[in-house]
Structure 1
């Protein structure tokens, strides 16, 4: 195997075709690979938020690219640190590794990324939001470097049954009762329907989500995560790419023919669905459109053969009301000799 360190935007862009092949290969397997590691997510993130210099470790084998660790070097407070691309708005971070790659690939990537970092004045490498099973959990620190660990945010996960009829097992009865009541109310209000947005419906559905999300936070006197123009620019660039990669699920609920809720979800491998962000029309609060659409999304995930719903970072009450059980993200900080 041959490792290289990519430090320019042009070289990073040139890597995209191989990166797409590697991500597609890894995403076909159950495990920890998610769309958060794809070029469809991370390259738009770098365009929107990237400052400093790319420091991307790539590992090549006989079949092509077999491992990737996209970091960047940030100047901060007169010092330098390494961070993963995607940090901040990405719930799960990790190296991307071919499932068939030899053991130790993550350690090679880490050593490649950090090899000359101390000479370049890097004071630390922070690796936050590592999910359970992340390759970087057990990757060996380069010689002389030492590692510290911390516990991050909870990421509740709902383990799905084999059929929607069996939801009464993992999902509390009160929530299923509320779902039935909400659906009855929506029927009486003019009927409801839920569907996944097709290619030509993605941007209208996104615009509706943004409008509902921003209206809700404005009424609270706060901005919300979608108030940042860079965040909006990132998602507008990433959504079509995620759709093309087969990873996007924009679930849309209509009541009496009008959009009442939109859920932005991502398909991770064959086994998981990640609920990222949502918007719903508060004027429809009586019908609880968020509850109806989440119930639909869970049933659709079961129909696709998925086994887990990931509610991602944060301990909001509704996640536990649906039967979510905490899995903790963790972080590592690597310090040079």
Structure 2
């Protein structure tokens, strides 16, 4: 069966779970309308991002796209895929592991949507647990789906994100401590004298610009580890398709930096309703001898967030030292695990994965040098 649907007669509610591989194709308008009515939606829940990921990475027959409508209007959606982990059939979010935020979508103005989405998922057979690994504070998954869930739930600490208020770079610098302010102003003056030219890529040029971005990204990480999947043709296909559509609808901007006419850096920035964040960048290693690259990128992303009306500029996952020098606020993600009510396998999976993630986090916090060793080993490989 390609989809399962159920009509709640007389109440104007309907729900379905789509399995067919082209399930996204007729949803663009409805999906964009739902995103516009969910304030905490991020670019990783956008139609362009999810459809592009599914086309590049989806396994035929594994899609579980739950949709809830009220009086014909889409009010909730859970974009999930069926996976088997540790002997347990699990519903995992589309976009994983490339999405910094994982969530469902529930319209802010529809009080009954969360319970109907829960019901639609529970009526779907063949799975025992739902695993959302990177849930932001204030997300629909954490504040509406989880409280409505009738089965067991686990919440575990996940990634730490660092955030800055959207502003002009000069305003941010003024708020820094005196010793940091002096350093940053020196770097900004150095950037002004460098002669680097910045331009925003047009949607029609997305495929070429994305290929150049990933080439620069590979150069930047050469010999230092990095994510090997970023070097594959499949990832390039996914990112080029997503970026082209997102540049067109304003949910992404791709900056290119040229020095003496030569492309030396690129940065893809994703834009949501509440935040804008640099998702992926690449830079020639020699550029670091001329300018501070982090300062260069922030000088464009911060005012972009301000122009787009986003209150927050997110540095996305990771709390590296070069981010902390800007005195950002911390945003703690959580992993959310939901077991099907009465499922022994779902409960075992939730308890086991929760314990494993807590142990891994404890080890990382107590022995941060282990991550450096791992990165060096990957670099040699």
Instruction: Judge same fold: TM > 0.5, yes or no.
Output: yes
Q: What's 2:161 paired with?
A: 155
| Structure 2 alignment gaps of length 5 or more | 1-12, 343-381
**Aligned counterparts of 1:107 and 1:172: Cα–Cα separation in 2:** 48
Matches within 5 A, 1:49-198: 49-51=57-59, 52-62=61-71, 64-100=73-109, 102-117=110-125, 120=126, 122-138=127-143, 139=145, 140-143=147-150, 145-161=151-167, 163-173=168-178, 176-189=181-194, 191-198=195-202
Distance 1:188 1:166, change over 3 A: closer
Distance 1:78 1:49, change over 3 A: same
TM-score by length of 1: 0.87
TM-score by length of 2: 0.77
**Aligned counterparts of 1:93 and 1:125: Cα–Cα separation in 2:** 12
Question: Given the alignment, which residue of 300, 303, 309 partners 2:313?
Answer: 309
Q: What's 1:26 paired with?
A: 37
> Would the aligned equivalents of 2:278 and 2:301 in 1 still touch at CA under 8 Å?
no
**Aligned counterparts of 1:242 and 1:175: Cα–Cα separation in 2:** 35
> Would the aligned equivalents of 2:207 and 2:241 in 1 still touch at CA under 8 Å?
no
Q: Name the count of aligned residue pairs.
A: 325
CA RMSD of aligned residues (A): 2.4
Offset from partner CA, 1:74-100 (integer Å, 9 cap, x none): 134543111111121101111122332
> Would the aligned equivalents of 1:248 and 1:266 in 2 still touch at CA under 8 Å?
yes
Q: Confirm or deny that 1:264 pairs with 2:268.
A: yes
Offset from partner CA, 1:307-327 (integer Å, 9 cap, x none): 210111111112212222210
> Would the aligned equivalents of 2:49 and 2:242 in 1 still touch at CA under 8 Å?
yes
Distance 1:284 1:37, change over 3 A: same
Helix, strand or coil for the counterpart of 1:242? helix
Considering fraction of residues, name the structure with more helix.
Answer: 2
Question: Given the alignment, which residue of 2, 5, 8 partners 2:20?
Answer: 8
Distance 1:205 1:224, change over 3 A: same
Q: What's 1:318 paired with?
A: 322
Distance 1:219 1:256, change over 3 A: same
| Structure 1 alignment gaps of length 5 or more | none
**Aligned counterparts of 2:84 and 2:259: Cα–Cα separation in 1:** 49
**Aligned counterparts of 1:42 and 1:4: Cα–Cα separation in 2:** 18
Offset from partner CA, 1:270-290 (integer Å, 9 cap, x none): x42122111112112122234
Distance 1:192 1:12, change over 3 A: closer
Question: Given the alignment, which residue of 283, 287, 294 partners 1:284?
Answer: 287
Distance 1:250 1:171, change over 3 A: farther
> Would the aligned equivalents of 1:153 and 1:314 in 2 still touch at CA under 8 Å?
yes
Which protein, 1 or 2, shows the higher relative CO under an 8 Å CA cutoff with sep ≥ 6?
Answer: 1
Please report how far the alpha carbon of residue 251 of structure 1 lies from its aligned counterpart in structure 2 after TM superposition. 1.7
Moved more, 8-17 or 90-99: 8-17
Matches within 5 A, 1:206-225: 206-220=210-224, 224-225=228-229
> Would the aligned equivalents of 2:206 and 2:240 in 1 still touch at CA under 8 Å?
no
Please report how far the alpha carbon of residue 210 of structure 1 lies from its aligned counterpart in structure 2 after TM superposition. 1.1
Offset from partner CA, 1:225-261 (integer Å, 9 cap, x none): 5124332221022111111221011122222332222
Q: What's 2:348 paired with?
A: none
